[in-house]
Structures are given as structure tokens and as C-alpha cells.
Amino acid sequence: MAEKRAAVVGVSAENIPGSKIMLVYVVLLGLSMSLIALTVDPYLPAFPEIGQFFGVTNGVVQSTFTGVTLGIAVGQLVIGPLSDAYGRKPLLMLALGGYLLATFVSFLAANLEVFLIARMLMGFFAAGGDVVGRAIIRDLYRGRAMQQFLARIYLIQALTPIVGPIVGAQIAENLGWKSVFLIFSIVVLALLFAVTFFLSESLPIDLRRSSSVFEMLQAFREVLSDRTFIGLVIYGALQIGGLYAYLSFAPFIYRESYGMSAAEIGMWLAINGILGYVGVQVGSLLARAIKGQWILVSTGSAGCLIGLFLVLNSNGEFWITQTLFALILFNYGLGLTVVPTIALYAHGSEAGTATSLIGTINFAFTTLISVFFFLFDSSTSAGVGILIAFLFFGSLLAFSILSRPWLIPDLRRVENV
């Protein structure tokens, strides 16, 4: 059985959605994989009202993120491996059902303690929607086909961080902050209903792993023994750290170096976000002509150069800084779908475990690196440039030493089934 699982890199053709229902899968999986963003972004504008309702300071309200992020980390580690043993659809339905319940409890919460627990559970089940969604995609596709499908999924995911705060602010202003939870619980209820009736199981019973703790630990061991996978995980985590550095520093640089208002800062951040979306689509097209591993080498190298130019342009012209910020997002988007495509290629039967490790390590590293941001000046582009150059160089080094891109097969030539 172990040999059979090791050889599995795709499922039978009849399990792959045809063109007529492809759009349904893109929407359902895209929304399921957007639950983490929906757990955070729509509620940011309501922070002051939440503090007033519970009679606590803004700092206490901000600390609710600790519960959310803890729930996300645990959810990634638990739900992914369980989906390898019990199937994708039951675990996705469990994640959506749990998220629905936690969201409704947040709406009803009369004290801060209940609210914190409900928010932690929202993070836990949101992580389940993300990790199981990615595992389903790996069940159905591999190689270039998987990358193209991920690019379509990103059409949904990319909208969430942009639309979420806008919608959340309008709901909170017109209906009260608790209504944000109520309305999003209705959305998730509709999503659960659609998944129940329109999504098919993607992992056949004969390809599932045992549900024993030993077997689950064995799945972790198999994934962690793959040096290509480890190199790609480190590569992705370091670059996400660079992206998080940009998100943390850019608003202060716009304001303190160039005297922008909040509205102007929001506009430029949105423009940069659009460039990230364009990068994902361009990366998907480039993968038809260029091996994915060389796209990653190129984006790693470009990130180093962008960081160095940000250092050199400290206190320099706005348009140079803005162009470099836009290039950060575009460059990051180029490799966004390539990393999971290569990382999950050899892990068809333990895709849930593999995706859970990717998510957990990315989350843990981003949290860790943010602790050191205060050491760098946030008023000019020099500090964020140093961080980006260092992190992208580290990603390139890890990918080269561990994953050895010259040994990775050409996934453009891989048949899906």
C-alpha cells in the first residue's frame, strides 16, 4: 500500500470536473480558501466599536488576533492530515459548519471571553477551509494544470482583502458591528449548502491513509523527508515574510516620507495589490514556456534587486519608491502558484498533510519575523529594503541548496492523470 500511495500523483479522469462545472469548483474552492481573509479583513474597521461594546481598550481588541492566529495554526495542523484519512468533502463540510457556528456565536457573544473563544474557533475552521481546498486541487490536478487552476482560484482570493474591509465598514456603519458576523454567517451557510450538493469527493477511499495516529505521524515524516518540499516551504515562508514587511512598512513610508493622507495610502496599496494579481496571471502564462523552478529562481533574484534599490532610493523620488513597491507585489505573484505546484507534486496521497505544513510554517515564520520589524526605521524605504533583500536572498539560497532546481522534473510535460 505504501508503494501504491507513493506512486499516486493524480486521480482518475472521471473525478476531474468538466468545463461546464469548472466555474462552480473555482467559486466554491476560492471562497473556502478565502475564509482566513474573511476572518480578519472585514472586521478591522469595526475595532473601535468592538472596544466600546465590551468596555476595553483598543489594545485589548487588537489582542483578539492572538486567538485568531492561534486557531489558524492549530487548524492547519489538525484538519489537513484528517482529510487524508477521512476524505476531503467531509472535512471541508466540517470546517464550514464549524466556521458557521463560531461566527454565529461571535454575533451572540455578550462578553469578551466568549467573543475571544469564538474568534479562535473561527481561525481554526477557516484554516480547515484553506488547507482542504488546496488538497482538493492537488487531488484533481498536477503540474501545469494545477498551476492554471490555482491562478483561476486566485481570481476569487485576490478580491477578499480588497472587498472585505469595504463591505465590513459599510455593514458596521449602517447595521452595527455585530451585523458583520451575522451577514457573513449567512454567506458561509450558503457556501456550505453549495459544497454539500455540488462538490464531489476527490480522494477515493482506496487512496486514503489510515486514521491511526501512527499513520498520520508517518505522513508527516514522509513529507518532511522530501528535501525538495522543505526547500520550497522555506522559500515560500521567507518570501511571505518579505511581503509582510512591505505591508507593515509601506503605510508609514507613504505618510512620513511623502506626506500622504489615509485615502491616498489606501489607493496606492490597492494599486500595488492589483499588480500582485496581474503577477499571478502572468506567472501562470510564463509557466507554459519556462520551467516553474526557473521562474522561482528569477523571482528570488529579482526580489533581492528590488530590496537593494529600495535601500539606494531611501528618501528618494516617490515614483521610484512606488514603482519598486508595485514590483514587489508583481514579483511575488509570479511565483505564487508555482511553489505549491512543485511542492505537492510528489505528495498526492498526503496532500492534506503537506498543505497543512506549508500553511503552518508560513504562518509561524511570518509571526516570528514581525517581532524584529521594530529594529528598522519605518519612515524611509531603507529598512524595508534591507529586510526584503535579506529574505529573498535567503529564499533563493534555501531553494538552490535544498530543492536543487536543476533536478526538479519539467512539470510542463506531466500529464494530469
Task: Judge whether residue 370 has pLDDT over 50.
Answer: yes
Residue 416 and residue 16 in contact, taking contact as beta carbons nearer than 8 Å: yes
Q: What is the pLDDT of residues 244-280, one digit of tens each?
A: 888 778 878 888 889 888 667 777 887 888 888 889 8
Task: Judge whether residue 145 has pLDDT over 50.
Answer: yes
Helices (H) then strands (E): counts for the chain: 19, 0
Structure-derived torsion over alpha carbons of residues 296, 329, 147, 184, reported in degrees to the nearest 10: 150
Cell of 358: 506549508
Percent of the chain with pLDDT strictly greater than 70: 88
Percent of the chain with pLDDT strictly greater than 90: 35
Alpha-carbon distances of 241 from 53, 58, 266, 350, rounded to whole Å: 34, 26, 21, 26
Average pLDDT of 200-228?
Answer: 83
**If 0-12 CB within 10 Å is exposed, 13-18 middle and 19+ buried, where does residue 129 land?**
buried
Q: What is the pLDDT of residues 292-334, one digit of tens each?
A: 899 999 999 999 999 999 999 988 899 999 999 999 999 999 9
For the question of whether the overall pTM of this predicted structure is more than 0.85, the answer is no
Main-chain phi, psi angles of 151, to 5 degrees: -65, -40
